[in-house]
Amino acid sequence: MYFYLISIILVVICAGLGARASSKVKSAYHAYGAMPTASHMTGYDTATRLLRRGGVKDIAVGRVRGELTDHYHPTKKIVNLSESVYGDDSIASVAVAAHEVGHVMQKKAGYLPYKIRTALVPITNIGSRLAMPLVLIGLLLDLLILSADSQVGYYLAMVGVALYGLSTVFALVTLPVELDASRRAKKMLVDEGILQASELPYADKMLDAAANTYVASLVTSALYFLRFLLWVVMLFGGRRRR
């Protein structure tokens, strides 16, 4: 009874955090997307200049569909800018483009949190797939093993919980990576004269709004992990009482 009530509360909190963060970043993008830069450089121009000035010559700049779908793909060596950013000369667009280049610079500099996040990607993907099967196998073993003292099923389920928790670790590592990419973006934009000092506060607000989505993602991941842990503990606790 209490578990289901807690679950509902956690889901509502997570949904609210996600919706609020998404609304803020879209609102900021539309507000500062209507403010052209004095330099009139587009997202593509910004990314290209910053890459070349940063001594990076093997990364291409591409275009992808959608809004705020911008991302850096290290294995394909490309910075993909969304259609709304690629050819647009607004403060929001150059800030987003510079942020993605910030990730390129992190890789080039060997920024430790970036390296950790990159290493966690395959492990997290595997962990998310194995978490639930391991919990279910653990529960099945707990049902089948005759010895009342056997903890094999429980420990196996806890391995599943730990694997599920990798997504929270990934979100935790992602936050400083994104904040640092924004810090690098602001510095590069001013150093290269793409934004004037008077325009930087607007870029700040755009990038801060985007950073809040990662804060919301971390909190959401942690709450879902707590919910999953409580569910597993409740399952095995109920078994032990019977």
**Residue ranges with strand state E in 2-142:** 60-64, 71-73, 78-82
pTM, to two decimals: 0.85
192 is catalytic: no
Burial of 159 (0-12, 13-18, 19+ CB in 10 A): middle
| Pairing mode, strands 71-73 and 60-64 | unpaired
Give, to the nearest 10 degrees, the angle between helix 91-109 and helix 43-53. Answer: 30
Confidence at residue 143, expressed as pLDDT on a 0 to 100 scale: 67
State the residue range of the domain holding 173: 2-241
> What HEC string does the chain produce?
CHHHHHHHHHHHHHHHHHHHHHHHHHHHHHHHCCCECCCCCCHHHHHHHHHHHCCCCCCEEEEECCCCCCEEECCCCEEEEEHHHHCCCEHHHHHHHHHHHHHHHHHHHCCHHHHHHHHHHHHHHHHHHHHHHHHHHHHHHHHHCCCCCCCHHHHHHHHHHHHHCHHHHHHHHHHHHHHHHHHHHHHHHHHCCCCCCCCHHHHHHHHHHHHHHHHHHHHHHHHHHHHHHHHHHHHHHHHHHC
In the prediction, which pLDDT does 150 show? Answer: 59
pLDDT (0 to 100) of residue 159: 87
Q: Residue 40 — left, alpha, or beta (φ > 0 → left; ψ -120 to 50 → alpha)?
A: left
Structural domain total, the chain? 1
pLDDT, tens digit only, all 242 positions of the chain: 566 777 788 778 888 888 888 888 889 999 999 999 999 999 999 999 999 999 999 999 999 999 889 999 999 999 999 999 999 999 999 999 999 999 999 999 999 999 999 999 988 888 878 887 877 777 777 666 545 555 777 788 888 888 888 999 999 999 999 999 999 999 999 999 999 999 999 999 999 999 889 999 999 999 888 888 888 888 777 555 55
Catalytically annotated residue among 67, 100, 178, 199: 100
Nearest to 125, CA basis, from 154, 167, 96: 167
Structure tokens at 111: 């920024």
